[in-house]
Structure 1
Amino acid sequence: MQPQHSARQLLLLGIGQAVGFVGGALLGRWVGTLLGWDAFGPNGYDGPAMLGILLIGLGGGGGVHLARRLYIHRFGDPKV
């Protein structure tokens, strides 16, 4: 049985996931604008805007996932 994670470790996980989400979403936004898929374009919700929104969501989710994997690698799974 693994020891419980301290409050400091869990706070680190939460902050890491928040930073990963924002960083990943910004990266997705940047890649989308490079590809011409502006999520906040003047044409409303056309096809390229929807693809830009998709990239922002995937980037944010990927950042959260990466932060959680790094935490698990260092401290173990907090669910146990």
Structure 2
Amino acid sequence: MQRDETPSATQLLIQGTSQAAGFVIGALLGRWLGTLVGWDAFGPDGYTWPAMAGIVLIGLGGGAGLQLARRWYNRRYGISRT
């Protein structure tokens, strides 16, 4: 469902805030999952393979949280051109 009108400032604020919150929450969940399985991204040993896997989980979690926030916004307000 494509929107023809320009989104209001309030809708743009909601879009930006929800996407930022989704990214942060997803990244925190990825960090939590990484430490749960022993892949500490911020461990004292530097860039080991478990640390790199932890960094990947943080990135995947942040991206997934962002995508979920976008889908929520699009369902609620329609697909925006911005």
Q: Given the two structures, how large is their TM-score scaled by the length of structure 1?
A: 0.94
- Alignment RMSD: 1.2
Secondary structure class of the residue paired with 1:45: coil
Deviations 1:44-64 (A, max 9, x none): 000000000000000111111
Take 2:59 and 2:46, find their aligned partners in 1: how far apart are those partners? 18
Q: CA deviation at 1:2?
A: 2.4
Partner of 1:48: 50
Q: CA deviation at 1:3?
A: 2.2
Misfit runs of 4+, over 6 Å: none
1:65 to 45, 64, 67: 67
Stretches of structure 2 lacking an aligned partner (at least 5 in a row): none
Q: CA deviation at 1:42?
A: 1.2
Q: Given the two structures, how large is their TM-score scaled by the length of structure 2?
A: 0.92
